[in-house]
């Protein structure tokens, strides 16, 4: 039986729930901060200056973006009930909002931007709460396609930074610095042992900076001129409650971009889960929801502060692959460093002084690894023609639009230019194709019943009628009934529901004909144990009769079902089991 699962990583020295030495956590957090610090600085700066905002407001918008990014990065490392992703998830200003944010500020002023961001955050919170409703759209193919487009949106800036040499510097300085930085990181990552690999990225940055200093590429004046401590004048613009024509025209664009931004954050959490554990685990969609919820709360803060909305980045995933450290303490350290930089301009200048070729060389490696993580995400559950069409077309559409190769004049003018971003356009294309594939086929039959053993007769009657309607044999009918029965029993034998309340739960069983057999879907109340993970770990603890009965159901389900996928959300469990005819 094929049980869908995440990849896991046997090279990890510290998985997500383990505690590495504080010094290691700090240094890896510093690397993350150094690589991503420019995001909440450059994006608000570009938006506000392009829109003609006052310089005092530009300083406030950058400070607010940096401080909120640090706070969210720290909180994403935790799980507070339904809030937080529990992994190294770096938060930063979203590039997808640049175009429409400029329009909002230029046409309605900072209060208009604040109002639109606040409205978007409310939409994102609703979206995160109803994430299970979108489960047939937010597939591994869609999440993987969005993740593939992240390097596409970043790599042009990487290539531009590779040749960034101050005027008067030697022509060979940039390629020399970049090449040696790459060689150091790759040499340690490919040939070093598990302990040495964790220092590879930092060693590359240090060696690159030293060589850059030799060629005179370090901006020493930037560091010396910056004060040690600083705080901009408070300039939160407040909200515009008139909801005029500018608000009504731009709101749809903000909501669409907010949805894509949430999907990017969801994809980032999924990517981190695939590399953060030694043993393969199914994706925990409660953690995914926690990331999306915190994203929404973060944009509430961005709206109140009047800065560009945030999103969650997956840059830590390739760093984990290189260093072998997925511990949450690294995310806490990175967020704390963001906060420190917001109040200490000299430290900020020290990071910004790292020459472009050094940063670009490191990002060149990370984007390549991030691309392959996206490929692995797409491959979850197998690869077929339809998934290939969805991923292939959405990727090349996003790639073409990002590089101004597909009707650039029309794309920039259409809908205020919200689709000029490759992640937005490619992600939306993947969503629409997935929606068309899932909802244009034959409608599934369904049964509502109590979530208890007494529902078995109703289930058998329902599945007998479903099999007869599809012209299946008695053997296929018996297999459908057996799979449904064992799935129900396995669900009932789990731990108590997460809220601990003693009440009657309802269940919906849906059955649909699919290529090569049938797909059964159970939608029930939540429980603590993931069946998909349990099916992947055979073994019966001795001396426990109830455990033996439980394992018997799991073994039968493992034998009868072609594949199983268990998605656990807050307040909802969804189990999909594919059943093939007995002769296959």
- Point out the domain boundary residue: 407, 438, 469: 438
Select, from the ranges 7-21, 230-244, 315-329, 413-427, the one with the highest average predicted confidence (pLDDT): 315-329
Residue 9, domain member (yes or no):
no
Mean pLDDT of the chain: 79
- Residue 425 and residue 507 in one domain: no
Question: Over the stretch 491-545, which tens digit does the pLDDT of each residue have?
Answer: 887 644 444 444 567 888 988 887 778 888 888 865 555 555 554 444 444 444 4
Count of all residues that appear for the chain in the document = 584
Are residues 486 and 370 both part of a single domain? no
Tell me if 5 is assigned to some domain. Answer: no
Residues facing 506 on adjacent strands = 450
Write the CATH number for 549: 3.30.565.10
pTM greater than the 0.85 cutoff? no
Residues 260 and 245 both lie in one domain: yes
Which residue intervals of 384-496 are DSSP H helices?
385-402, 408-413, 422-439, 456-469, 474-492
**Domain membership flag for residue 512:** yes
Residue 358 sits in the same domain as residue 497 = no
The SS3 call for residue 449 is strand
380-412 per-position pLDDT tens digit: 666 778 888 888 999 998 888 888 888 887 877
Q: Which residue, 389, 404, 438, sits at the end of a domain?
A: 438
Q: Does residue 372 sit in the same domain as residue 459? A: no
Residue 135 sits in the same domain as residue 242: yes
Residues 285 and 415 in one domain: yes
- Which residues span the domain enclosing 293? 14-438
Lowest mean pLDDT among 57-66, 225-234, 300-309, 508-517: 225-234
Q: Are residues 21 and 167 in the same domain?
A: yes
Q: Which band of pLDDT confidence, cut at 50, 70 and 90, is reported for residue 309?
A: very high
Cα 116 to chain centroid distance, Å, stands at: 23
SS3 584: coil
Looking up tokens 């390629």, which residue turns up? 175
pLDDT tops 90 at residue 112: yes
Residue 194 and residue 80 share a domain: yes
Name the helix (H) or strand (E) containing 212: helix 200-214
Q: Is 582 exposed, middle or buried (0-12, 13-18, 19+ CB in 10 A)?
A: exposed
Please tell me the total count of domains within the chain. Answer: 2
Please tell me the least confidently modeled range out of 238-242, 272-276, 278-282.
278-282
On whether residue 8 sits in a domain, the answer given is no
387, 131, 138, 90: which is closest to 267 by C-alpha?
138
Residue 89 is predicted with a pLDDT of 92
- The per-residue pLDDT for range 134-184, each reduced to its tens digit, is 877 777 788 778 778 877 776 776 777 777 666 666 778 888 888 888 888
d(CA 180, CA 245): 54
**Do 310 and 406 fall within a single domain?**
yes
- Same domain as 326, residue 299: yes
**Based on the domain organization, do 403 and 542 belong to the same domain?**
no
Task: Give the model confidence (pLDDT) of 211-230 as tens digits.
Answer: 888 877 776 776 777 778 77
């Amino acid at each position: 039986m094929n049980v869908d699962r995440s990849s896991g990583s046997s090279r990890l020295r510290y998985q997500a729930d383990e505690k590495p030495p504080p010094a290691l956590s700090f240094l890896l957090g510093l690397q993350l901060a150094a690589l991503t610090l420019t995001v909440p600085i450059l994006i608000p700066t570009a938006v506000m200056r392009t829109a003609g905002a006052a310089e005092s407001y530009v300083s406030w918008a950058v400070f607010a973006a940096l401080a909120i990014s640090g706070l969210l990065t720290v909180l994403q490392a935790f799980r507070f009930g339904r809030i937080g992703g529990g992994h190294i998830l770096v938060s930063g200003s979203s590039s997808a909002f640049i175009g429409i944010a400029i329009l909002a500020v230029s046409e309605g002023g900072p209060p208009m931007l604040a109002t639109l961001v606040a409205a978007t955050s409310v939409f994102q919170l609703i979206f995160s709460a109803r994430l299970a409703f979108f489960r047939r759209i937010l597939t591994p193919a869609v999440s993987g396609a969005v993740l593939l487009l992240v390097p596409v949106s970043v790599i042009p800036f990487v290539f531009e930074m590779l040749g960034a040499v101050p005027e008067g510097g030697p022509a060979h300085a940039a390629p020399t610095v970049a090449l040696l930085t790459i060689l150091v990181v790759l040499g340690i990552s490919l040939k070093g042992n598990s302990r040495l690999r964790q220092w590879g990225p930092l060693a590359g940055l240090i060696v690159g900076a030293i060589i850059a200093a030799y060629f005179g590429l370090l901006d020493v004046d930037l560091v010396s001129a910056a004060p040690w401590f600083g705080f901009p004048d408070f300039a939160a613009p407040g909200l515009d409650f008139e909801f005029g024509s500018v608000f009504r025209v731009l709101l749809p664009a903000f909501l669409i971009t907010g949805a894509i931004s949430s999907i990017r954050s969801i994809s980032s959490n999924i990517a981190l889960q695939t590399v953060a554990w030694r043993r393969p685990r199914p994706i925990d969609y409660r953690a995914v929801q926690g990331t999306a919820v915190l994203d929404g709360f973060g944009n509430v803060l961005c709206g109140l502060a009047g800065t560009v909305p945030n999103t969650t980045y997956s840059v830590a995933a390739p760093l984990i692959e290189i260093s072998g450290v997925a511990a949450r303490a690294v995310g806490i350290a990175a967020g704390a460093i963001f906060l420190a930089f917001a109040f200490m301009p000299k430290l900020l200048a020290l990071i910004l002084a790292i020459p472009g070729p050094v940063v670009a060389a490191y990002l060149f490696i990370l984007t390549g690894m991030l691309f392959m993580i996206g490929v692995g995400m797409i491959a979850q559950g197998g690869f077929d023609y339809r998934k290939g069409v969805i991923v292939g077309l959405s990727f090349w559409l996003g790639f073409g639009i990002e590089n101004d190769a597909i009707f650039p004049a029309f794309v920039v003018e259409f809908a205020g230019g919200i689709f000029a971003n490759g992640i937005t356009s490619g992600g939306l294309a993947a969503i629409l194709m997935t929606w068309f594939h899932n909802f244009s086929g034959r409608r599934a039959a369904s049964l509502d019943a109590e979530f208890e053993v007494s529902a078995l007769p109703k289930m058998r009657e329902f599945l007998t009628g479903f099999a007869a309607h599809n012209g299946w044999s008695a053997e296929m009918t018996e297999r459908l009934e057996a799979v449904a029965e064992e799935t129900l029993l396995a669900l009932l034998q789990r731990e108590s529901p997460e809220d601990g309340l003693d009440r009657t739960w309802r269940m919906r069983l849906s059955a649909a004909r699919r290529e090569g057999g049938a797909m059964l879907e159970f939608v029930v109340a939540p429980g603590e144990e993931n069946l998909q993970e349990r099916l992947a770990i055979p073994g019966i603890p001795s001396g426990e009769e109830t455990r033996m009965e439980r394992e018997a159901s799991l073994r039968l389900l493992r034998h009868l079902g072609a594949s199983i996928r268990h998605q656990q959300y807050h307040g909802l469990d969804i189990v999909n089991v594919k059943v093939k005819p007995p002769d296959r």
